[in-house]
């Protein structure tokens, strides 16, 4: 197939692109060009972002406008009938004034980041079907790109709303090599920050193993995504079967949980490949039913340091509701506006 041939050609020394530094997004505009692996040596750009705060990672944004995408659930049920007055936002324990509130199906810039390593060969047909079903169940104004990764990552379809083009991009299967998930996630987050045109940004990462080929580690990856005030990440870990030992499964699961929960997303661990399509439908529903909340911080912009954010919901029925959103931010970077500007 044409996509596979381009992949093979791109992996030769003549066609390979040089690695891209973390500070700039890689050039991902040509079908099947390799995603430049971020250079670990420039990772200190994230030094102003603390590695952990009370066991969790944190996000950056600008205190002039803090925008939170929040999912509210009652058990396993998404709650969709809440009003602005039902919400309370605390920053470092101080109540904030909510200035904007939306509960509409905002269009999304979406990256499908899918493991293309050798162990995924038999799983890819089901994964590809689930990914296409997810796109079909999403907002018609969404724009989506496809990154396939093994020991390198390739953009196999740039941003499009054309389902046939996405199908072709997903069909570029050349399952072999290792798993460079961290590099693929960072490059994809950079692409979203540079080229995404929709109000919300999401990455969906599907893999069946632990990272074993990236130039970045887990902490550097999370820091970089959060430094961008980056996308909500949903992860699907296909960690069933006998390919990994217990320690590898535990590490992979922890990694996927951190990528998701610290960015406001969810991590899923199906027990079989047959459950992936159902999970994809759940992800699509979650993305489309979020509340978008905006406020201006009571702290001056010049005050540095981590700002812990907590969103509370006061249900009129007295029922305890859970809220899923990012856990905080650092001031100083340009905000991503809720209206996509």
Q: For residue range 28-46, list pLDDT tens digits in order.
A: 433 444 444 444 332 333 3
Q: What is the pLDDT of residue 332?
A: 60
Is the torsion defined by CA of 341, 34, 123, 253 positive or negative? negative
Q: What is the DSSP string of 269-296?
A: --SSGGGHHHHHHHHHHHHHT-EEEEE-
What percentage of the chain's residues is helix, strand, coil (to nearest 5)? 30, 25, 45
**pLDDT > 70: what percent of the chain?**
78
Strand partners, 329: 307
Q: For residue range 145-190, list pLDDT tens digits in order.
A: 999 999 889 999 999 999 999 999 999 877 677 899 999 999 999 9
Single pTM value for the model:
0.78
Q: For residue range 235-293, list pLDDT tens digits in order.
A: 999 998 777 788 889 999 999 999 999 888 999 999 999 999 999 999 999 999 999 99
Pairwise CA distance, residues 143 & 221, whole Å: 24
Q: What is the pLDDT of residue 116?
A: 92
Question: Where in the chain do CATH 3.40.50.410 domains reside?
Answer: 107-288
Q: What is the pLDDT of residue 56?
A: 45
Q: What is the pLDDT of residue 169?
A: 94
Q: For residue range 184-219, list pLDDT tens digits in order.
A: 999 999 999 999 999 899 999 999 988 999 999 998
Stretch 53-66: mean pLDDT, rounded? 51
The residue assigned the tokens 């529903």 is 285
* 113 membership: H or E segment, kind and range: strand 108-115
Tokens coding 137: 């169940």
- Residue 303, pLDDT above cutoff 70: yes
Contact by Cβ (8 Å): 221, 207: no
CA distances (Å), origin 159, targets 36, 141, 168, 196, 209:
18, 12, 13, 8, 27
* 190 membership: H or E segment, kind and range: helix 181-195
pLDDT, the chain, mean:
79
Contact by Cβ (8 Å): 99, 64: no
Contact by Cβ (8 Å): 75, 311: no
Q: Label the pairing between strands 153-160 and 267-268.
A: unpaired
- Residue 226, pLDDT above cutoff 90: no
Band (47; pLDDT cuts 50, 70, 90):
very low
Q: What is the pLDDT of residue 192?
A: 94
Q: For residue range 20-29, list pLDDT tens digits in order.
A: 333 333 344 3
Topology, domain 107-288: Rossmann fold (3.40.50)
């Amino acid at each position: 197939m044409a996509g596979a041939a381009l992949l093979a050609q791109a992996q030769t020394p003549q066609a390979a692109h040089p690695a891209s530094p973390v500070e700039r997004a890689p050039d991902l505009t040509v079908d099947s060009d390799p995603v430049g692996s971020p250079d670990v040596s420039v990772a200190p750009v994230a030094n102003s972002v603390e590695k952990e705060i009370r066991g969790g990672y944190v996000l950056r944004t600008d205190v002039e406008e803090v925008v939170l995408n929040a999912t509210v659930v009652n058990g396993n049920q998404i709650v969709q009938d809440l009003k602005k007055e039902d919400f309370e936002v605390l920053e470092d324990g101080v109540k904030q004034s909510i200035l904007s509130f939306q509960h509409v199906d905002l269009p999304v810039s979406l990256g499908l980041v899918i493991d293309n390593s050798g162990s995924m060969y038999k799983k890819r047909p089901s994964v590809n079907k689930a990914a296409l079903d997810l796109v079909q169940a999403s907002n018609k104004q969404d724009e989506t790109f496809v990154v396939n990764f093994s020991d390198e990552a390739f953009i196999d379809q740039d941003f499009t709303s054309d389902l046939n083009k996405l199908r072709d991009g997903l069909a570029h299967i050349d399952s072999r090599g290792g798993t460079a998930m961290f590099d693929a996630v960072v490059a994809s987050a950079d692409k979203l920050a540079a080229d995404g045109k929709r109000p919300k940004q999401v990455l969906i990462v599907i893999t069946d193993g632990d990272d074993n080929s990236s130039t970045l580690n887990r902490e550097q990856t999370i820091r970089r995504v959060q430094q961008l005030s980056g996308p909500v990440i949903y992860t699907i870990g296909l960690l069933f079967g006998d390919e990994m030992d217990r320690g590898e499964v535990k590490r992979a699961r922890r990694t996927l949980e951190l990528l998701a929960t610290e960015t406001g997303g969810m991590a899923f661990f199906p027990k079989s490949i047959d459950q992936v399509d159902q999970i994809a439908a759940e992800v699509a529903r979650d993305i489309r039913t979020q509340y978008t909340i905006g406020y201006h911080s009571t702290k001056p912009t010049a005050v540095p340091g981590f700002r812990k954010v907590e969103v509370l919901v006061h249900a009129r029925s007295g029922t305890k509701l859970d809220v899923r959103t990012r856990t905080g931010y650092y001031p100083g970077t340009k905000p991503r506006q809720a209206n996509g500007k």
